Amino acid sequence: MRVKLVFGRLLVILSVLPVGLQAGCGIKDPPVPPRRYRPPAMTDLSYQLDGQALTLSWSVPETRDGDAADPVGCFVYKAKQPLVNTDCPDCSEPFSPVADLQIQKDASGNILTRTMTYTGVLVQGFIYTYKIACYARDGGLGADSNIVNFSF
């Protein structure tokens, strides 16, 4: 009797085993990296010149969308090209980061001030182009701001 019971259990296991293997078989998708939430873009980047001193100003955007991340900092990007003696008047150097500014927050994580500035010194004889992009704590980079472009 005991042999029949063991044989019966073995038969059930062997009949269920192929079904279990089929459900778990197949090609798996490659791993998906965790989603990075991007801060919203700034739309009010402006500039002011005072002699050779440049001041960029912008507002840190508020995050109302559940897919947007609170920004923790902003990158300032600059591109420039000579005013004269250029073979390509519409070409400029690629943008390069010139500053990484942290957004000031209180102990609760609330942004202390929504207005940020960057100050730099300019060299005459160039067309300057600037843009800003905020980034989140997880490294998600927001879209570029509006661009300011001027000759100096």
Tens-digit pLDDT profile for residues 89-142: 566 678 999 999 999 888 887 888 889 999 999 999 999 999 999 998 888 888
What are the sequence ranges of the domains in the chain? 46-151
Token look-up 């980061």 returns 97
Q: What is the CATH number of domain 46-151?
A: 2.60.40.10
In order of 22, 59, 74, 101, the CA distances from 133 in angstroms are 49, 12, 6, 10
Q: Check residue 4 and give its pLDDT.
A: 58
As given in the structure block, the two tokens for residue 58 are 């912008």
Helix (H) or strand (E) holding 149: strand 148-151
Structural contact between residues 131 and 77, judged by C-beta atoms closer than 8 angstroms = yes
- Kindly report the pTM of this predicted structure: 0.71
Beta-bridge partners for 102: 73
Tens-digit pLDDT profile for residues 30-69: 887 766 678 888 899 999 999 999 999 999 887 765 656 7
Question: To the nearest whole percent, how much of the chain has pLDDT over 90?
Answer: 38
